[in-house]
Chain A
Amino acid sequence: MKDTADSHVTEDGRTIGGTLLDLRGITLRFGGVEAIKNISFDIRQGEIRAIIGPNGAGKSSMLNVISGFYNPQEGEVWFRGEKRPAMKPFQVARSGVARTFQNIALFDGMSVLDNIMTGRLNDMHAGLVAQMIWKGKAEREEVENRARVERIIDFLEIQHIRKTPVGRLPYGLKKRVELARALAAEPDLLLLDEPMAGMNVEEKEDMSRYILDVNDEMGTTIALIEHDMGVVMDISDRVVVMDYGRKIGDGTPDEVRNNPQVIDAYLGVAHD
């Protein structure tokens, strides 16, 4: 494919399209605290967009704004070329945005399979009674949804824990199940809040590979928050850098790496 005004092809052969999500002048306050200060950036179709910055910079808040968990006091969110009205999180989810959480939010009482199946709840349309007696459309839907979920389970290599209650899993696997549940919704935009936090090197490599594969094979646009600079530089197309609620850098990994303000923030004093 050739580059056009609206799209270009990356070195590794993936196509990055036009703007999928556009954040314009977002400001978010908690009482007196300004967690996000007038930030604008966009996410393009098919890219992996990273948000980095020190602890408390406002990265999670930004993701929460995109996913509708927080409503900003100022600014606009444009999604697929339309200005998005204030939405509840479940409405944003239904509009094709899936996410994971920094502190993992799974259904601990359910099995891995059931957890992932909840990602497909919005693709079930059969009538109530039909579902209860497992007839007709309900059965077809269930079989179809199960098949899709099984593909994701294979993809993320978690077959061996399909029936395990999620509460019993170790941390790294929980993170993977959470990713699986988000993927099950087949989102247009996938938001990952520190998908590799607390993982060892090997687990981080696995997770990086999964993220790249999801993006490449499923064509999913991904915005992710990550602390590990090395990982971020490796897998992302473009990076937004935040510090104290402000955007201090935005560009390709190379551009960001050489940005003096970013170097300051990362090598300066206030760091974890």
Chain B
Amino acid sequence: MPDQLLFAIEVTLNGLMAGVLYALVALGFVLIFKASGIFNYAQGVMALFAALTLVGIMEGQVPFEHLINATFGTEIHGFGWEVPALLAILLTMVTMVLFAWLVNWLVLRHLVGQEPIILFMATIGLAYFLEGFGDMMWGSDIKALDVGLPQGINSWIDETTLDLFGYGFFIDNLDIAATIIAAILVAVLVAFSQYTKQGRALRAVADDHQAALSVGISLNFIWVLTWSIAGFVALVAGIMWGTKSGVQFSLSLIALKALPVLMLGGFTSIPGAIVGGLIIGVGEKLFEFLVGPLVGGATENWFAYVLALIFLVFRPQGLFGERIIERV
């Protein structure tokens, strides 16, 4: 096989795995948008906050350490224990559910029936609040996250491809793990939404609020549930991204990559979020590989947005979108 083709295949595989992450973040958006018509600007920051909380709990940090020390003149530096990854993930999930409940109780409950743009503004406020709150709670330094996911080059793939093609593919174990986890997550979400009472209620609310109320579904419960699931998806995305590049502010910016994914996949389609994420992931890597050298590189910064723009012009409802996006 010619080298160019092998490189291209390798790039495609890596792109697919980057796409998985975009898809996950986009999924968080879609879930909330479907159930409540809210475009949740804070989805990216939720991933950051979840990752921060996870690291904080694992390392035994005392929440609001700085604040407590500054206010009371104390010298607290952590609890002095470490929490195992699995337990810490559970505790973080509890935190995200609590967060979901608070958002509904303190903010969204009071905005029922408001214009979508008002709800959108509210989530912008929420995003900045959560960013500052996360910093205050856990500190703003860059943190390494290691929950025990495998990392580094997968030597089996490297050796096998070397034997077969005379060229070893570089595939990161973390990317493989991320892909598997994301696939499981999606499968669980689908099973949840298709087969459980709560999932059916969620689909009902996404379809028609009045009708949902009339069959005895509590909208508040469903909204807390969706935000909790979105929090869970954010946590998974946060773990993957945080393991790869450390837990830091830039993590919240992956949300910006989710935007073109949503334009491709449609704001209301779960399969759309997944396929859209993969297309953007592969597209931007391949484009950089093929066209990047001709135009001086750095195409990954804009490729996704241009692709989204083209889609907006020719197919504004996205690949699988159910209706024209008129809410954002």
Contacts and interface: CB of A to CB of B under 8 A. Distances in A.
Given A101-B210, A106-B208, A108-B208, A132 B196 contact: yes
Contacts of B200: 114, 117-118, 121
A105 B214 CA distance: 9
Contacts of B81: none
A93 interface: yes
A131 B197 contact: yes
A90 B219 contact: yes
A93 B207 contact: no
A185 B322 contact: no
A88 interface: yes
Contacts of B207: 107-110
Nearest to A93: B216
B201 A121 contact: yes
A122 B195 contact: no
9 contacts: A69-B210, A105-B210, A107-B203, A107-B207, A118-B200, A119-B215, A121-B204, A134-B195, A185-B215
Interface of A: 67, 69, 88-91, 93-94, 98-101, 105-110, 114, 117-119, 121-122, 124, 126, 128, 131-134, 181-182, 185
A128 B211 contact: no
A137 B188 CA distance: 20
B195 A90 contact: no
Contacts of A69: 210, 213
A181 B196 contact: no
A138 to B, nearest CB: 8
B284 to A, nearest CB: 32
A85 B22 CA distance: 47
B142 interface: no
Given A89-B213, A105-B214, A131 B208 contact: no
B215 A181 contact: yes
B217 A121 contact: yes
A132 B188 contact: yes
B217 A132 contact: no
Interface of B: 188, 191-192, 195-198, 200-201, 203-204, 206-208, 210-219, 322
A89 B197 CA distance: 19
Given A117-B200, A128-B198, A67 B214 contact: yes
Contact of B192 (A107, A132, A185): A132
A128 B208 contact: no
Given A132-B188, A132-B196, A134-B195, A90 B213 contact: yes
Among B197, B206, B217, B218, chain A packs the most CB atoms within 10 A around the CB of: B197
A98 B197 CA distance: 18
Contacts of A109: 203, 206-207, 322
Nearest to B188: A132
Contacts of A106: 208, 211
B214 A99 contact: yes
B4 to A, nearest CB: 45
A131 B198 CA distance: 10
Contacts of A114: 200
A203 B215 CA distance: 25
A257 B20 CA distance: 69
8 smallest CB-CB distances across A and B, nearest first, come from A93-B216, A105-B211, A107-B207, A89-B213, A131-B196, A124-B197, A105-B210, A94-B216
Contacts of B322: 109
A183 B322 CA distance: 29
A86 to B, nearest CB: 15
Contacts of A67: 214
Given A128-B196, A128-B198, 12 more contacts: A67-B214, A69-B210, A93-B215, A93-B216, A101-B214, A105-B208, A114-B200, A118-B211, A121-B216, A121-B217, A132-B196, A181-B211
Nearest to B192: A132
Nearest to A99: B214
Contact of A107 (B211, B213, B216): B211
Nearest to A109: B207
Nearest to A92: B216
A70 to B, nearest CB: 12
A93 B213 contact: yes
A126 B200 CA distance: 14
